[in-house]
């Protein structure tokens, strides 16, 4: 592991100031960044820990009814404190990794990293959530820009993620048993103005919306409405766990299961 300085700011303002220095990197729970440092895949001069910033931790309800989750809130706290407000999101958080990961990893870190097999991006995109940073608000449809790529600018910090609460929702994933990452995962959320379907773990581009399923389910919210449907296999991931065609098939199967669960 490379040598680095560690800064633990107590306020968001101090964190923003620390991030202004050259080669500074924000540190959430460290579930991705620390292994990257150990493997010498990253070499920031300074790590700015965000977990000690009280204003970035916790769950509340906004004036518009949205569930607002601080960027430094752990998966375990999301699973516990969101259950009464957005059960599908709480269940997703409870299925991330193992207890050690859930008690260290943060929602802001996961969304900022945008791993193509991470669970949270599907919930953010399917919910039409808003990513709040220290400088602006970013709509989910504008935020995810490809594998490990987001709309975040250098030095920008995710302070909160705001989830509109759907009428019905569910998340189903087919997981890699060792890592519990999604080989394919589907989040379905039904709102008054239509249904949103977001898929993670399946495509080379990372998380994406399955528009054909959204149209069919908006017309009839039933698994039968998408019977036999699957997205095009072009652009799906092929690896030792399965082919592109296999993942495309999984998307159809898991979407139907998510609708039934919702």
- Average pLDDT by consecutive 10-residue portion of the chain (262 residues)? 86 95 88 83 88 96 96 98 98 95 96 95 98 98 96 96 98 90 96 98 96 98 97 95 96 98 98
Which of 173, 220, 161, 163 lies closest to 195 in space, CA to CA?
220
Q: Please give the biggest Cα pair distance in the chain.
A: 56
The pLDDT tens digits of the residues spanning 98-150 come to 999 999 999 999 999 999 999 999 999 999 999 999 999 999 999 999 999 99
Give residue 35's pLDDT: 81
Give residue 178's pLDDT: 83
Give residue 211's pLDDT: 98
Domains of the chain (ranges plus CATH)? 5-163 (3.30.465.10), 168-261 (3.30.390.50)
Give residue 41's pLDDT: 81
Which of 157, 124, 140, 203 lies closest to 15 in space, CA to CA?
157
Average pLDDT, the chain: 95
Give residue 43's pLDDT: 81
Give residue 32's pLDDT: 82
Q: Are strands 46-49 and 5-7 parallel, antiparallel or unpaired?
A: parallel
């Amino acid at each position: 592991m490379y040598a680095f300085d560690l800064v633990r700011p107590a306020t968001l303002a101090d964190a923003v100031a620390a991030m202004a220095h050259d080669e500074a990197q924000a540190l959430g729970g460290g579930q991705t960044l620390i292994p990257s440092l150990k493997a010498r895949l990253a070499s920031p001069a300074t790590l700015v820990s965000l977990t000690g910033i009280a204003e970035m931790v916790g769950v509340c309800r906004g004036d518009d009814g949205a569930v607002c989750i601080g960027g430094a809130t752990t998966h375990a706290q999301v699973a516990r404190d969101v259950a009464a407000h957005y059960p599908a999101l709480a269940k997703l958080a409870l299925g991330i990794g193992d207890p050690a990961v859930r008690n260290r990893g943060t929602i802001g870190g996961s969304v900022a990293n945008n791993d193509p097999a991470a669970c949270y991006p599907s919930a953010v995109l399917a919910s039409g959530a808003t990513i709040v940073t220290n400088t602006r608000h970013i709509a989910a449809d504008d935020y995810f820009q490809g594998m490990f790529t987001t709309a975040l600018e250098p030095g920008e910090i995710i302070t909160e993620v705001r989830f509109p609460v759907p009428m019905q929702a569910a998340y189903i994933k087919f997981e890699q048993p060792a890592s519990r990452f999604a080989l394919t995962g589907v989040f379905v959320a039904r709102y008054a103005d239509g249904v949103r379907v977001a898929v993670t773990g399946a495509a080379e581009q990372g998380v994406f919306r399955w528009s054909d399923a959204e149209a069919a389910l908006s017309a009839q919210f039933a698994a039968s409405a998408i019977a036999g449907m699957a997205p095009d296999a072009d652009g799906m991931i092929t690896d030792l766990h399965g082919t592109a065609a296999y993942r495309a098939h999984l998307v159809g199967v898991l979407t139907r299961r998510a609708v039934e669960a919702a």
